[in-house]
Amino acid sequence: MFTLHKKDGNARLGTLKLAHGDVQTPIFMPVGTVGSVKTMVPEDLHKLGAEIILGNTYHLYIRPGLEVIREFGGLHGFVGWNRPILTDSGGFQIFSLANQRKIDETGARFQSHLDGKLIHLTPELAVEIQETLGADIHMVLDECTSHPATYQQAANSMRRSMRWAARSRAARTRPELAQFGIVQGSMYEDLRTESIEALTAMNFEGYSIGGLSVGEPKPDMRRITKHCCDRLPEDKPRYLMGVGTPLDLIESIDAGVDMFDCVMPTRNGRNGTLFTSKGRVNIKNTRYRLEKAPLDENCACYTCQNFSLSYLRHLFMAKEYTAQRLLTLHNLTYYLKLIHDIRAAIAEGTFKDLLAHHQGLWET
């Protein structure tokens, strides 16, 4: 399923062979929570070079529901996307509904945010939902440990996640779809090691690093990411969940991560924060009111090739939907081009130069 082609330091160049096509790594996956990357359509994503998108198990389960998805033969047919899809397990929704859910050994009980219906999400149900969706890669159900957590809290949570992972592995019925285990253990290296040993014994097709980007300081995120990558199997893909900024991506690739997803390029675009070759741009800034230059003169996206900063600011301030689309288009272009540049640098053996450039760009 995964072929490692080359390394430059710890940065890795590889290929994932999935049910709906090959994916080159490192890869960034745009987030399509309810079966749609906000303001984008599949044609946009194809043109941008997106190779795989992410869907949300919890949201798709409650709406439109499995009956509708089955009618279309899976999520691909329903949303009109013919390339790979990765789905999460619903574990992050359990985490985000901390005040409204009850967790026990069977799973998590909580109410739908739409109609208040009681949901009992178990490891087995999470597998059933994702196999019905037909996700090329799906996650085991886990308990995402909140931050900060005491050692005992983190240990209890991680060990429950490992028991759930074993149940998820046993519930799998579609071997053509890849299943990833999720490493937990909060900020404690020994717990992360214990989690990795438990998961690798189950021989998953890939491994996710979970429980990061939940409020911990960046140095802790980097430390735990590196610790996990140093111990995960070299011949399996590594996925850092929910991360992050351009600098997060490139520094995590430097630690050995292969896969990323994050709402940052789409959400920030809709909120007027843009990523450019010269750093962040806040489109609301009054300095752009009369600016005829494009958002990023080094960007080949439709937005930068056709519109001025002045016009983009006008659309945003006027709350025009067009602004959300154009700014999201630019941010996704930036992220996917960054990934392509990183792959090229690894292939050429110049990754450290690219890393240094982006550290200088984003840390200022």
Give the active site residues.
Answer: 88, 261
User: What separation, in Å, do the N-terminal and C-terminal C-alpha atoms of the chain show?
Assistant: 39
Q: Which residue do the tokens 């958002």 mark? A: 295
Question: Could you tell me if 310 and 295 are in contact, meaning their C-beta atoms sit under 8 angstroms apart?
Answer: no
Question: Hey, what are 186's tokens?
Answer: 């909060």
Local structure of 183: helix, strand or coil: strand
How many CA atoms lie less than 13 Å away from 145 in the CB half-sphere?
31
Tell me which amino acid residue 351 is. Answer: F
3-state secondary structure of 204: coil
Please give the Cα distance from 5 to 361 (Å, whole number).
Answer: 29
Residue 213 is given by DSSP the state S
Phi then psi dihedrals of residue 320, to 5 deg: -80, 135
- The closest of 248, 172, 303, 237 to 26, measured between CA atoms, is 237
- List, as own/partner pairs, every contact residues 340-347 make where C-beta atoms lie below 8 angstroms and the sequence separation is at least 24, other chains included: 340/49, 342/11, 342/26, 342/249, 342/250, 342/253, 343/13, 343/24, 343/26, 345/8, 345/11, 346/6, 346/7, 346/8, 346/11, 346/12, 346/13, 346/26, 347/6, 347/13
Spell out the alpha helix ranges (H) of the chain.
42-48, 57-62, 66-71, 75-79, 91-96, 123-133, 151-171, 189-200, 218-229, 246-255, 264-270, 302-306, 309-317, 321-348, 351-362
